[in-house]
Structure 1
């Protein structure tokens, strides 16, 4: 059994893979297992991985026969992972020197179900520290505290899977599974479920994960196609998790998150085709109207003025349908 398994989903990543493999080479030791899942790449990715696996004993490569998406690829990697601790790395990002070792040491020292970290956003030559929205650092916390309240920015709103490490001996396997129907935004309901079901967590001051923001032209979140609207499906999954739990503050927070993300995408609708814009309006309105009316109304009051105007227009449309 390895100490830590690192899951790296990959698709047509020939431009980023050499750097990622070098990060793996310098970060790994006998206790580290890197699992690269090649999601049926059509560029040079398979050839680069063939050469790498021959010289890197810490590297395991899994190949998908068809392109199944990042959520399914991560689930496939779970069947191969044998580390006590589990973390993730996106192929277009990288670890700073000693980051993985420090991450493992943090969860070992704190003895919690999972640990989250800050990260560094990379935009060309610019580096910006993005801090996780938790002021209590380096101490065990109740996991549910990461959900927060409507109008607040809490850990559940920090949907960066790779900015964390998770103990597979303390968490049930189903908490690690992703909804494979979601090609984008699968991390969002994943984190809601984790913060609702886990017992303990912590946030630590680690700044060694470098996130290459919006520089991968193949990133689905930038595509402006039908899969961009999967955030609506993800938001519906969150609603279906939270409402049955019977916690009014959680339901209001989920309603707030749904209203905020719908308003965000509606204001950026110009990147979508007219057909997808119409679908965005219709489905956003339906989603917001599906919450109890008083709950959604309370949630919308906590939005900014511009977001409030968009959300209220969507709610009126949805309730009139």
Structure 2
């Protein structure tokens, strides 16, 4: 029998679940079982739990056949538990280091109490951890006039601590003896916590922050969602009062419970983000009825009437207050940047145009990447929707014929940005066109996050110095959809761009061509570049370096081709954010300005890159990938990567690696880059990152975002796909 059964229910927390599980499994105290409960989560939670179970025998996973909600998912964990104590941890929260040892020691010191209560700290996206006010005030301390072990009657202030399930450890025989279980619905902690705390004959406290309680910026708390499900609170308090009424020895608690219920109902009913506005009157009527029905004999009536300050008028008043107190300075800055023109203001008063979509890519460069692939599919499936591209004037001549184009900041741009129902981009639009209600924003991203991104760059000043994080997050709050190529990307995006958008795990539209192209497309790409039959084409595409103002790759393209011989061609593609001097040398083709990196990939026999996400896209072709970087330690310190690229580990490294130009040259000349071992690495890499890139990603996006279809097209399994043929096979 393990000391602890730690129950972790999981539903749509894939971005945080790994950190949660790690915080448990990396504890120094190891006498526990971890029971992960997949509550039929539609994201990758089930797979994540299974992965941990495969690696650690202490982990067991329950996959529920249907979504039952947090309370009943915890019940499933209780039924499977075999530990002496039950501990609950939500899938987006974490334990602090050394917590389980501290809990075990405190249980030993206090004689195995039925309940141990410990403290928590709220953690925020910016890294702050703020201990609870009760803990900071010393509420968990014992000694002097506070006994180590007590009942709620002996120390009533323990009921003032946060009444949730996850800040306590429960002796399992006590739970089973009293048949404690969670009900379905919202506020399920209420009919668990009050009966438990009032019934326990022995309670102890631990003066320590055990749980880091994650505070999501947007969308993480279901109790902050406007819904009629908040009416569940009435049934939950009915359960509490039924439990107490059936036990005369607990009747003394009825006045306190009544007061707590009234305060709780008032809070929920008055909260602007809980009860729908049209149901608020009904809620308050139900609250008044519950107050009267559960009022102890002789107790004074308590009001649960609504407070106008928390309704729509209240929001208006608070907004007005913010306008006076906060918006003024921002408006001043906005004036300095230039106000919207009268024309744009007039356009914003007109209805949105449901036949208009705004597109951009790479900061108003020519159409490319995922937005371009989506726009092409949109033209096929919904030709009535007009696509307008925002392109900087210096790139206008590079725009393919037939596309509608506007310049950023122009009158035409302001009109399109004010009226378009849909906006699609792989980077943010600028602030000259604030989002209107009813607009739909799709963020496609520029690639799978290999290097650190978003809020993670706070710890890397060299890379993140140009970012204004609050401004960045304000723009993220405009997203309605975030496109993801794989489960891994979803977890990173949701964590580093925390907000309330919907993740679309559909694959990357720009990669569709790798599954649809045939021999003709591959040959045409090579012929267009002037490649001769039989030549080996290497695509060299390094990413940018923020730590150097003018980065030059530590590779001499001309020298490499000379060493390899005339049967090799090197396609050199500098990153679009890097300063670039054209390379002119025999056997080297500078393709930095080439419009389609996907077409270059089709032409290449192998990819040479460093930390670029292109490695993930290229893996779809199942052709060799070589990693070359001579600045690994500097890059690790200044930008960092999520993947251990040069470790040689499956799922982390896509193929052969080199740290110097000499190593790279020897690797290519020896043929080792085509070895079976590197094929196996690439296979594992492809399996991890290319699960959804089956050639229909763009269609999934268009059908979901633009056509409103609820069920995405099924994904063709990796083993059943066809891939563009390798040049050597032609």
TM-score relative to the length of structure 1: 0.83
Match of 2:285 among 258, 282, 286: 282
| Helix, strand or coil at the partner of 2:52 | helix
For the 8 Å contact 2:20–2:93, the answer to whether it is kept is yes
Deviation (angstroms), 1:82: 0.6
What is the CA–CA distance in structure 2 between the aligned matches of 1:36 and 1:217, rounded to whole Å? Answer: 23
Match of 2:5 in 1: 5
Could you tell me which runs of 5 or more consecutive residues in structure 1 were left unpaired when the two chains were aligned.
Answer: 301-307, 313-321
Show the 5 A alignment for 1:15-94: 15-27=15-27, 30-94=30-94
Distance 1:295 1:185, change over 3 A: farther
Match of 2:182 among 160, 174, 178: 178
Show the 5 A alignment for 1:68-217: 68-111=68-111, 112-124=113-125, 125-130=127-132, 131=134, 134=139, 137=142, 139-145=148-154, 148=156, 154-155=158-159, 158-179=162-183, 181=184, 183-215=185-217, 217=219
What is the CA–CA distance in structure 2 between the aligned matches of 1:80 and 1:7, rounded to whole Å? Answer: 9
For the 8 Å contact 2:224–2:274, the answer to whether it is kept is no
| Helix, strand or coil at the partner of 2:57 | coil
Distance 1:228 1:144, change over 3 A: same
| Helix, strand or coil at the partner of 1:118 | strand
Deviation (angstroms), 1:26: 0.3
Distance 1:9 1:165, change over 3 A: same
Deviation (angstroms), 1:127: 1.9
Deviation (angstroms), 1:248: 5.3
Larger RCO: Structure 1 or Structure 2 (Cα < 8 Å, ≥ 6 residues apart)?
1
Deviation (angstroms), 1:250: 0.9
What is the CA–CA distance in structure 1 between the aligned matches of 2:97 and 2:277, rounded to whole Å? Answer: 46
Match of 2:239 among 237, 240, 253: 237
What is the CA–CA distance in structure 2 between the aligned matches of 1:81 and 1:28, rounded to whole Å? Answer: 21
What is the CA–CA distance in structure 2 between the aligned matches of 1:76 and 1:188, rounded to whole Å? Answer: 18
For the 8 Å contact 1:8–1:89, the answer to whether it is kept is yes
CA-atom RMSD in angstroms: 2.7
Q: Deviations over 1:44-84 (max 9, x none)?
A: 22222222211112111100010001111111111211111
Distance 1:87 1:277, change over 3 A: same
| Helix, strand or coil at the partner of 2:80 | coil
For the 8 Å contact 1:269–1:277, the answer to whether it is kept is no
Deviation (angstroms), 1:23: 1.2
Distance 1:188 1:69, change over 3 A: same
Could you tell me which runs of 5 or more consecutive residues in structure 2 were left unpaired when the two chains were aligned.
Answer: 308-730
TM-score relative to the length of structure 2: 0.38
Structure 1 residue ranges (4+ consecutive) displaced by more than 4 angstroms after TM superposition: 132-136, 293-296
* Bigger shift: residues 102-111 or 212-221: 212-221
Deviation (angstroms), 1:88: 1.0
What is the CA–CA distance in structure 2 between the aligned matches of 1:234 and 1:99, rounded to whole Å? Answer: 31
What is the CA–CA distance in structure 1 between the aligned matches of 2:167 and 2:242, rounded to whole Å? Answer: 26
For the 8 Å contact 1:134–1:155, the answer to whether it is kept is no
* Bigger shift: residues 231-240 or 123-132: 123-132
Distance 1:14 1:216, change over 3 A: farther
Deviation (angstroms), 1:143: 3.9
For the 8 Å contact 1:220–1:227, the answer to whether it is kept is no
For the 8 Å contact 1:6–1:33, the answer to whether it is kept is yes
* Bigger shift: residues 74-83 or 231-240: 231-240
Q: Deviations over 1:68-120 (max 9, x none)?
A: 01111111111211111111111111111101121122112211111101111
Deviation (angstroms), 1:126: 2.6
Deviation (angstroms), 1:257: 0.7
Distance 1:195 1:116, change over 3 A: same
Instruction: Tell me which structure has the larger Cα radius of gyration.
Output: 2
Distance 1:244 1:198, change over 3 A: same
Match of 1:227 in 2: 229
Question: When the two structures are aligned, how many residues end up with a matched partner?
Answer: 298
Higher helix proportion (structure 1 or 2): 1
| Helix, strand or coil at the partner of 1:262 | helix
Q: Deviations over 1:177-217 (max 9, x none)?
A: 112x3x22111121211123221101120113111135572
| Helix, strand or coil at the partner of 1:35 | strand
Deviation (angstroms), 1:30: 5.0
